[in-house]
Amino acid sequence: MILLKADYKKYPTSKLEKLRMDEDEFYEKFDGCVLLQTCNRVEIYFDVDNLDEIDIDVDKFDILEGDEAVLHLLRLASGLESMIVGEDQILGQIKKSYLKAKELKKTTKFLDTIFLKAIHVGQRVRSETKINEGGVSIGSAAVELAEKIFGLKNKNVLLIGAGEIGTLVAKALKERHIKAIIKAIIIANRTYERAERLAKELSGIAIHFDKLKEALKYADIVISATGAPHQILTKEDLVDVGETIIIDIANPRDVDDSVRELPHIKLFTIDDLKLISEENLKKRKEEIPKVEKIIMEEFENLKRQIKKLEIQDFIKNFTTYIESIRRKEVEKAVNMLKNKNKSPEEILENFSKAFSKKIIYDFVNVIEERHLHGKDLFVEEVIKEICEKTKYSS
């Protein structure tokens, strides 16, 4: 197998975007492959033996082959190659990309085997280790902090900002099954349409920004993540809102620090969240040796599976080769019997000699040629070359 790989380690998102391909056009052109594209990577897995078989510009890709490519896929599915160690999203992306190629009949037995193994490894790693536990993005850390300090059950959550950071918070809320535990979620954004889109995704309520002060009175937890160049919440805005946790993850800050003077307000900033993120990331990294052990165990199992596939193909090809000779010689023998020029005994004798002679000839021819060029004389390799050269014909 050959893997063409480009990811966040080598390119910024803007350059990765230029490497992205139209899936339908790609699969119209190529067979025996899987295309995996995310915001952080473009990877193409080909079931081929050498680059000459790939009609594509490979200059901007790193090239991994054989075991190295397979191990990369297992590590990727386990979350070890992600920008955020242990993140879960990549496993779903791998599965989706594989199923797309499978649906289009573009995979091979080999690709089916390694991708199914990768998905299994990713699931096992997340089940048997803590590689994906604890929020390490600012958005997920904000939700985790609110959950630990105040709890989310039967609480009203107000999310201010529906941009990139706000969307990360929304994703973290969604992962905690907000329908089951959060009483209500309200999204406020200066562009109402964006708030509406995000609220729809979360089964929440979108409000216009001029209704923000009114919404604050109903909120138990406020997470503020706007891109505003100035502060949007002051001490005066929060005097009569009741007991509230405010988590300000905007940069620059959304909430005036004087808010801390209010006894019913608990204010946390991005600095508090960084400590949580760093601690969680440290815990995840401590799990890496366990993950790598699982990967190597499964890799050894995978190699045995692949060997069985190779043996199955080998037996199938050799059977076809033998059968092609047998059919041709049987045809000759039947024609001789029809002409009645020779006795059945003599015809059978000639048939058996011709049958064995053809097999011996092909074997000797390939063995002599391999010996002349200093190649190994393993039976498996010899038979494989015979099958390839004769194309199963006599």
In the predicted structure, residue 394 carries a pLDDT above the cut 50: no
pLDDT of residue 179: 57
Same domain, 38 and 117: yes
The residues near 71 (Cβ < 8 Å, ≥ 6 apart) are 295, 299
- On whether the CB atoms of residues 202 and 185 are closer than 8 A, the answer is yes
pLDDT of residue 161: 93
Looking only at the bridges linking them, the beta strands covering 156-160 and 184-189 are: parallel
- On whether the CB atoms of residues 264 and 244 are closer than 8 A, the answer is yes
Domain presence at residue 238:
yes
pLDDT of residue 182: 85
Asked if residue 164 belongs to a known ligand binding site, the reply is yes
The residues annotated as belonging to the active site are: 39
User: Which of 132, 156, 187 delimits the end of a domain?
Assistant: 132
Number of neighbours of residue 173 by Cβ within 10 angstroms: 25
User: Which of 269, 284, 299 delimits the end of a domain?
Assistant: 284
- Band (pLDDT 50/70/90 cuts) for residue 130 is very high
* Least confident interval from 122-131, 163-172, 205-214, 289-298: 163-172
User: Which of 76, 107, 132 delimits the end of a domain?
Assistant: 132
Read off the pTM: 0.64
- Band (pLDDT 50/70/90 cuts) for residue 372 is confident
The residue that leads in pLDDT, 360 or 41, is 41
In degrees and rounded to multiples of 5, residue 22 shows phi and psi of -75, 120
Place of tokens 């620059």: 252
Residue 228 tokens read as: 């505003």
The residues near 119 (Cβ < 8 Å, ≥ 6 apart) are 77, 91, 94, 95, 98
Asked if residue 68 belongs to a known ligand binding site, the reply is no
Asked if residue 129 belongs to a known ligand binding site, the reply is no
Q: Is 148 exposed, middle or buried (0-12, 13-18, 19+ CB in 10 A)?
A: exposed
Same domain, 106 and 229: no
pLDDT of residue 393: 44
Asked if residue 38 belongs to a known ligand binding site, the reply is yes
156-160: strand order across its sheet: 205-208, 184-189, 156-160, 221-224, 244-248, 265-269
Asked if residue 39 belongs to a known ligand binding site, the reply is yes
Domain presence at residue 289:
no
pLDDT tens, 256-274? 999 999 999 999 988 888 7
